[in-house]
Amino acid sequence: MTGEILSQPAEAGTKARQPLFEPLPGVSPAVYGEKDFLAMAQMMRAEAGIMLPPGKAILVYSRLAPLVRASNLGTFNAYIVMIRNNAEERRKAVCALTTNHTFFYREAHHFDHFTHEVRPQLVEALDAGEAVRMWSAGCSSGEEVFSLAMAMLGPDRSEGRRLAKLDLRLLGSDIADPPLLKAREGRYDLRDVVHLPAALRGAWSTASTTHMEIGPELREIVQFKRLNLHEAWPMRRTFQVILCRNVMIYFDQPTKQKLVTRLAEQLVPGGYLYIGHSERVSGPGEALLEHVGPTIYRRREA
């Protein structure tokens, strides 16, 4: 991302643009200033395709200040110079600037559609000996992919355990390591599961007075991997279902369109793509998909 992308140049005959960056109270411009914000915005776009508009200047400071302090470099400028040449530290910065907010059964209409329209097809495929693969792209701390796994196994434990023994696997991927660690732990505050249907929660988890723990059947069919959607994807298989929800809102339009095409190409013909409620499908990938419901798309048959 460049300064030109973050702000449009003033038109001829108009006053110069207002500053993108207002100094933060109590923070010396020598420690963190506009050039530092623009440098981080450019790095985030190059590394992960994520846009950081001027209104995110405070967020960048608050998220990265602990890393700057830990580096003992003193200023954001020195820290940015360091991470440009240190891939591991740069990855930590990207993780720190990634928003991870989700909860179980978020956007419930997607799971309702999956349960009534998609699941029967997948059960039939499993019973015929076929492989069923589903992917939560940008899974954060795992609530989304575990919700999908529960919906797939259903409220009947006997039937769900039978399905789990067939060729059924779910992938959860995210760019940030800390939420993936939580996902692998599979332990969640009860406040995050209030929208989860009680029958599913009772079938596939155990609960204390404060937390819910994912049961072993789900852990066996769900795998978590770190993946930057902006880079090459290692998956060799295609998927019957992909959830990529509230991820594209952080990308610019060319990046969104490229991602939609790649996601569509990663679906089997007839497979389903679920996106966030404020997101839209556009670009070349739109020709590969048909709209079948609110933020629900189906890969066109070959």
Number of H helices, E strands in the chain: 13, 10
Determine the 3-state secondary structure of 172 from DSSP: strand
Q: What is the pLDDT of residues 122-145, one digit of tens each?
A: 999 999 999 999 999 999 999 999
Tens of pLDDT, residue by residue, the chain (302 residues): 333 233 333 344 444 454 566 777 778 889 999 999 999 999 999 888 888 888 888 889 999 999 999 999 999 999 999 999 999 899 889 888 886 678 999 999 999 999 999 999 999 999 999 999 999 999 999 999 999 999 999 999 999 999 999 999 999 999 988 899 999 999 999 998 999 999 999 999 999 999 999 999 999 999 999 999 989 999 989 999 999 998 988 888 899 999 999 999 999 999 999 999 989 999 999 999 999 999 999 999 97
The Cα-based distances of 253 to 199, 249, 256, 281 in angstroms read 40, 9, 5, 10
pTM: 0.83
Ordered by where they begin, the domains of the chain are 3-96 (1.10.155.10), 108-299 (3.40.50.150)
Strand partners, 289: 299
Q: Which of 235, 120, 95 is nearest to 172 (CA)?
A: 235
